[in-house]
Structure 1
Amino acid sequence: MDGNKKVIQCKKYPITYTLVIKQVKNINMRISTKGEVIVSANPFVSLDKIDDFVSSKASWIAKHQKSMEERSHCTVFDENQLMLFGNSLKIKYMTGKYNHVSYDDKYLYVQYRTNSDPQKVIHQFIDKLCKDVFSDVAMLTCRSLSDYHIAYPQIKVRDMKSRWGSCTPAKQSITLNRKLIHYPLEFIEYVILHEFVHFIQPNHSKAFYHIIENYMPDYKKRMELVS
């Protein structure tokens, strides 16, 4: 696979992109986790046609690069803010008679007893939310794959350093990274489907991704939601 970087000039601003020549049917474009524009095309497509394609996507590129830049400057969790389902929420603390956490599209409201640790209250809330959300998505995913007669597995949640999830067919279990809760629901759905399909195909073959694409045609876009 060869790659060469070239700069094209759009009407409003220059776009830098990495061109990768390989055997693909269409011109494909994605934004890397670092915000770089990656374009792939077969060797028979002219550079002018590729330039026109990239130029036509200028607004889309700008939008996604801005989103990734904002996300890169936002920690998933500290004492002042929490990233939940891809949204950065400011944390509002208040004391009360009991511990309780709720949220809307802007704030995470943390009520805690005076003798309680508010950070511990938040962690307990996150743990419960992970179990509830991941279980709900897993149940819906299992039902969607009913043609394959997959028995509903045990869903485990823990911190994972290098993977979003893992599947252990021999133990009929799926383990999911607790950090998933900080990212968009669409990405969580993809990861869970990915692990379920390993009960059908234990590898990452073409057949594996064919099943994923059949049930989630936009899975490649979902994969790009996490920087």
Structure 2
Amino acid sequence: MSITKYYLIDGEHIECQIEYKKIKNAYIRLKNNILYVSANKYIKIEDIDRFVIEKYPLLKNKMDKKVHTEKYQLWGKVLSEDEFYLKNGLKISDKNYYLILKNEVRLKTEEIFEKISSNLQKLGLNKVPFIYKKLTAKYGSCHIVKKEITLNIFLAKIDPIYLEYVIYHEYAHLIVPNHSQKFYHVLDQLMANHKEIEKELKKIPIIF
């Protein structure tokens, strides 16, 4: 069951989607200026109200520090709508929008792989298939069994260094599937400055 409530917090009208689940604690997140709360059905609505009023300013402050991207942006450069589509010789449409991002990531991935392949081979890592998808919650993933790496086409909107980092990150999972200390030791060998890159990447919300 879910309900929608509206709050007035610090003079700002906030829409909140509350979903009741079989969970012990309450969770809250802010996306596209809408609050999403998950809570146990036995939690009183007044307790949820207090929870939202307490947590919203913290979430808002965190989001304000995020680095936002424009819709028509490629590799960190903001383009007009016409420039974005004309650059690729395609008509304006949602389908072509995602197709352009996909093609950009595919081409840039091939370029980056040529540069980093020798570094990967030092750890016994060879080229695996890349899959390019629109993802809403993560920048990439690694299928250990199939030995496939999926890359988020959103990466075409930001600096190529982040794509390089994600490629290294997912390749490291082919050696260590979890995020243990051993995993980060592998990543240290592949990309010395990965911690700084990851820290900056976390400031960029995935918004298409």
Aligned to 1:164: 139
**Greater strand share, 1 or 2?**
1
**Comparing 139-148 and 128-137, the one that deviates more:** 139-148
- TM-score, normalising length: structure 1: 0.53
**Secondary structure of 2:80's partner?**
strand
Amino acid at match of 1:84: L
Change (3 A) 1:101 1:93: closer
Amino acid at match of 2:196: K
Gaps of 5+ in 2: 1-63, 204-208
Aligned to 2:192: 217
Between the aligned partners of 2:122 and 2:92, the Cα distance in structure 1 is: 47
Change (3 A) 1:139 1:199: farther
Contact 2:142 2:148 in 1 (8 A): yes
Counterpart mapping for 1:163-182 below 5 A:
163-182=138-157
Change (3 A) 1:167 1:139: farther
Residues paired across the two proteins, number: 139
Counterpart mapping for 1:1-227 below 5 A:
71-72=67-68, 74-75=69-70, 77=71, 82-92=72-82, 101-102=86-87, 116-117=91-92, 120-226=95-201, 227=203
Amino acid at match of 2:133: R
Q: RMSD of the TM alignment (CA)?
A: 2.7
Contact 1:101 1:122 in 2 (8 A): no
Contact 1:83 1:183 in 2 (8 A): yes
Change (3 A) 1:84 1:69: farther
Change (3 A) 1:164 1:200: same
Contact 2:141 2:150 in 1 (8 A): yes
Between the aligned partners of 1:218 and 1:93, the Cα distance in structure 2 is: 33
Contact 2:101 2:154 in 1 (8 A): no
Identity of aligned residues (%): 22
Between the aligned partners of 2:83 and 2:120, the Cα distance in structure 1 is: 42
